[in-house]
Amino acid sequence: MAATGISESPAEATPRTTPAALELRGATKEFRLRRSRTVTALASVDLAVGNGEFVALLGPSGCGKSTVLRMLAGLDTPTRGEVLVNGGAPAELVRGHRLGIAFQEHALLPWATAYDNVALPFRVAGRPVDADRVNALLSLVGLEGFTDARPRQLSGGMRQRVAIARALVLQPEVLLLDEPFGALDAVTRRRMNFELARIWADQQITTLLVTHDVDEAVLLADRVVVLTGRPGTVRHVEDITLPRPRDKALTRDAEFHDIVDRLTALLDEGAE
């Protein structure tokens, strides 16, 4: 079950399955800081994520990982190149409420219960709330006994579970995760990794995860894409062929640690 070797070509950051659910074609993103100064965050990035695939994006700080996610979410546009979701503009998926997204900050409504926070996308979309769907997701994330709890009554990990349930409630075609567990302590983060692995195995939604945590990326993903330092380009693509379902025993496996060590070394080189 050995993982594949190094791919230095951006064109190789593509899945085995077609057509792509998420795709960047020569995507370049520049930000104007002052009237005469421009910073290039991403340079000619080619990346494709297949339907039902889980891809993790790694790279040093400032390499444009979150910019990739923001463009796929329709929150930003490339300076040059194309960004496609299911073959069209990201805005089309957003308008149809077919995209789920969760950030490091859970952004829950502080006055609303867990149930009402998860039900919120129904109301935003102008649809009647599917109570069975909301309750099923709260159960899926292990919060069936906390439907009436407000965010201040929940731990950090529990709040993130609510945020993930909310991202899934409208049965999105695509799930975008930007450091969803970055603010949690190490023990809680590890527990949430296993929760997310279990949830993804149940839902099988096309997922792109932005993370700084190599262990997290290897545990969760089908492929790990490593970006260079700014401007971000695809440096390496690692197929993760470790068996699913992935549990705590897997993290003690020699092959798991070999992959983590190899990717960590690449990130360390990029930071030099």
Question: Could you give the angle at which helices 131-140 and 156-168 cross, rounded to 10 degrees?
Answer: 140
pLDDT at 260: 95
Sign of CA dihedral 250, 260, 45, 61: positive
Q: pLDDT tens for residues 125-180?
A: 999 999 999 999 999 888 988 999 999 999 988 998 899 899 989 988 899 999 88
Q: Per mean pLDDT, which of 8-12, 60-64, 146-150, 189-193 is the most reliable?
A: 146-150
Confidence check: pLDDT of 8 > 70: no
- Higher pLDDT among residues 16 and 117, named by residue: 117
Please report which confidence band the pLDDT of residue 14 belongs to, taking 50, 70 and 90 as the band edges: low
| d(C-alpha 166, C-alpha 113), whole Å | 12
pLDDT at 4: 37
pLDDT at 271: 56
C-alpha torsion angle, residues 64, 231, 48, 93 (rounded to 10): 40
- Residue recorded with tokens 């929150």: 75
Calculate the average pLDDT of the chain: 87
pLDDT at 7: 38
Please report which confidence band the pLDDT of residue 3 belongs to, taking 50, 70 and 90 as the band edges: very low
For 176, the token pair is 């975008």
Confidence check: pLDDT of 32 > 80: yes
Q: pLDDT tens for residues 73-128?
A: 988 999 999 999 988 889 888 888 888 888 877 789 999 999 999 999 999 999 99
pLDDT at 97: 84
| d(C-alpha 97, C-alpha 99), whole Å | 6
Alpha helices (runs of H) in 73-113, residue ranges in sequence order: 90-95
Q: pLDDT tens for residues 188-227?
A: 888 888 888 888 888 889 999 999 999 999 999 999 999 9
Confidence check: pLDDT of 5 > 60: no
pLDDT at 69: 92
Confidence check: pLDDT of 13 > 80: no
Percent of the chain at pLDDT exceeding 70: 92
pLDDT at 270: 57
